[in-house]
């Protein structure tokens, strides 16, 4: 994609991305390859490029302070696997989220650069909050208000896609043999905690332990349901570790909201490991963390960020110590289309009224616009794609949005004989994806979930499909 400067208006009126989205008909597809040394040679091409937003760019969707400074840069880091019938591409983006047609645009652009199809591309966000939260469909709705509301600077969005094309094409020229895979895990201490631990006698959530917490009562409560293990999946060229994917389930925010861009404690831990191990590309994926945060162990101070960074870093080190490379014998890629419904708590009329009410704060107009974009997407029957990459007994699964932890734990239980590493925060259109039993409990996550409670069964069926159970 050649970069051409666009005004906000012209982009929204003539968006090629919108055309791609409207016409997308991604189909469920599965391939499996049994590797024969004389027939199939795999290669891997790691890539990375900068996605740090410019000064003044909206952060977290436009309802917190926009960019004033950059503490550390944001990156997209990923890899392409070659040697199959079509390449597979997986990446992690240091953004809060990429929603709806914006997500389709990323997968379409990356697929074209890698010489594959969008259904073989997984784009997962890390979900830091001092970062962009991008929905092109929302931007169109906001533009019609003529009030200066904005979700994303479209020139910046386009420039990131251009960078992606250049980075991937360059990486393909440097692809290395992919011969071995390994997995390992290490327990992380004092980071993750469940947000939904305060439940009253009526079964309702009474208050929430958020990303940071100073409430003594909430801090004193147990961690609750978490997955304490940081998982690593590594790829090798012979004995040389070429790339390592690290997975852990927690909201990755220590402090945010002052306009200071940062990859936060998980990104800083990744960067620390990358500096020590420069010959290997390190990628961090946030697991299913819709109801998980560092709130029990994070008071929102700069000192807490340092402590949390160190704990994630230590988890990475421990997990890598357990790596035992084995020759790659089998590779498969599986996908599943999910057509979710709309949460009946929201109607087009109610959300339009909120969007058009000029007395509302920007956040309380942008969020309804995002829900309206979701409703339009559901009406168009544009699916969310769940996917999984299987290598020997290791499975890398890719889930959408802010999936609750229970989906990650279910995936592990469905295939107890496999090493299952979960990356969530793919297509962010649904916002939170609670489990069914959470809906009657209420709480913040349920109040902003764009899907009805039948999404639980749909997600579970999709996970079963991509895991081949």
Which tens digit of pLDDT belongs to each residue from 392-451? 999 999 999 999 999 999 999 999 999 999 999 999 999 999 999 999 999 999 999 999
Residue 168 has pLDDT above 50, yes or no: yes
Q: Assess if residue 73 is contained within a domain.
A: yes
Structure tokens at 127: 């979900």
Q: Assess if residue 203 is contained within a domain.
A: yes
Query: Among residues 162, 119, 156, 163, which one has the least CA distance to residue 139?
Result: 156
Cα–Cα distance list, 167 to 98, 163, 192, 281, 341 (Å): 19, 6, 34, 14, 36
Q: How far is residue 399's CA from residue 387's CA, in Å, rounded to a whole number? A: 7
Q: Is the Cβ–Cβ distance between 333 and 30 less than 8 Å?
A: yes
Give the model's confidence band at 40: pLDDT under 50 very low, under 70 low, under 90 confident, else very high.
low
List pLDDT tens digits, range 51-98: 999 999 999 999 899 999 999 999 999 999 999 999 999 999 999 999
Q: Assess if residue 3 is contained within a domain.
A: no
Q: Assess if residue 1 is contained within a domain.
A: no
Q: Assess if residue 365 is contained within a domain.
A: yes
Q: Is the Cβ–Cβ distance between 44 and 234 less than 8 Å?
A: no
When divided into structural domains, the chain yields a total of 1
pTM of the model: 0.93
Q: Assess if residue 28 is contained within a domain.
A: yes
Domain that holds residue 270: 8-467
- If phi > 0 it is left, if psi is from -120 to 50 it is alpha, else beta; for residue 93 that is beta
Q: What is the pLDDT of residue 213?
A: 92
Backbone angles phi, psi at 120, to 5 degrees: -105, 20
Q: Assess if residue 2 is contained within a domain.
A: no
Q: Is the Cβ–Cβ distance between 343 and 449 less than 8 Å?
A: yes
Q: Assess if residue 386 is contained within a domain.
A: yes
């Amino acid at each position: 994609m050649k970069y051409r400067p666009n005004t906000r208006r012209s982009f929204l009126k003539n968006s090629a991305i919108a055309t791609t989205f409207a016409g997308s008909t991604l189909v469920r597809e599965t391939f499996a390859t049994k590797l024969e040394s004389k027939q199939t040679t795999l290669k891997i091409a790691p890539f990375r490029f900068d996605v740090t937003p410019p000064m003044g760019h909206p952060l977290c969707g436009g309802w917190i302070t926009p960019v004033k400074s950059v503490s550390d840069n944001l990156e997209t880091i990923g890899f392409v696997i070659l040697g199959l019938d079509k390449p597979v591409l997986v990446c992690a983006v240091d953004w809060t989220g990429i929603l709806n047609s914006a997500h389709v645009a990323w997968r379409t652009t990356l697929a074209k650069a890698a010489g594959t199809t969008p259904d073989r591309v997984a784009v997962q966000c890390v979900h830091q909050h001092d970062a962009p939260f991008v929905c092109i469909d929302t931007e169109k709705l906001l533009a019609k208000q003529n009030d200066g509301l904005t979700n994303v600077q479209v020139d910046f969005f386009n420039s990131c896609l251009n960078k992606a094309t250049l980075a991937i094409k360059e990486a393909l020229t440097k692809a290395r043999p992919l011969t071995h895979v390994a997995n390992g895990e290490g327990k992380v201490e004092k980071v993750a905690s469940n947000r939904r631990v305060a439940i009253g006698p009526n079964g309702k959530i009474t208050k929430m332990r958020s990303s940071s917490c100073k409430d003594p009562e909430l801090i004193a409560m147990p961690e609750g349901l978490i997955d304490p293990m940081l998982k690593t999946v590594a790829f090798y060229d012979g004995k040389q570790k070429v790339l390592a994917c690290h997975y852990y389930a927690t909201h990755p925010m220590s402090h945010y909201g002052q306009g200071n861009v940062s990859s936060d404690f998980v990104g800083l831990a990744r960067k620390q490991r990358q500096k020590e191990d420069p010959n290997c590309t390190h990628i961090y994926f946030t697991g299913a963390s819709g109801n998980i945060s560092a709130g029990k162990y994070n008071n929102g101070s700069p000192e807490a960020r340092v402590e949390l960074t160190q704990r994630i870093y230590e988890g990475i080190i421990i997990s890598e110590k357990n790596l035992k490379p084995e020759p790659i014998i089998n590779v498969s890629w599986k996908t599943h289309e999910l057509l979710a419904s709309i949460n009946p708590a929201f109607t087009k009329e109610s959300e339009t009224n909120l969007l058009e009410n000029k007395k509302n704060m920007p956040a309380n107009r942008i969020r309804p616009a995002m829900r309206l974009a979701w409703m339009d997407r559901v009406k168009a029957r544009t699916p969310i794609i769940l996917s999984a990459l299987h290598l020997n007994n290791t499975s890398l699964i890719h889930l959408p949005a802010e999936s609750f932890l229970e989906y990650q734990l279910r995936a592990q239980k469905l295939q107890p004989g496999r090493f299952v590493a979960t990356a969530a925060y793919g297509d962010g259109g649904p916002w939170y994806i609670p489990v069914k039993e959470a809906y009657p409990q209420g709480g913040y996550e349920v109040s902003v979930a764009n899907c009805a409670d039948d999404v639980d069964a749909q997600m579970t069926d999709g996970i079963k499909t991509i895991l081949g159970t």
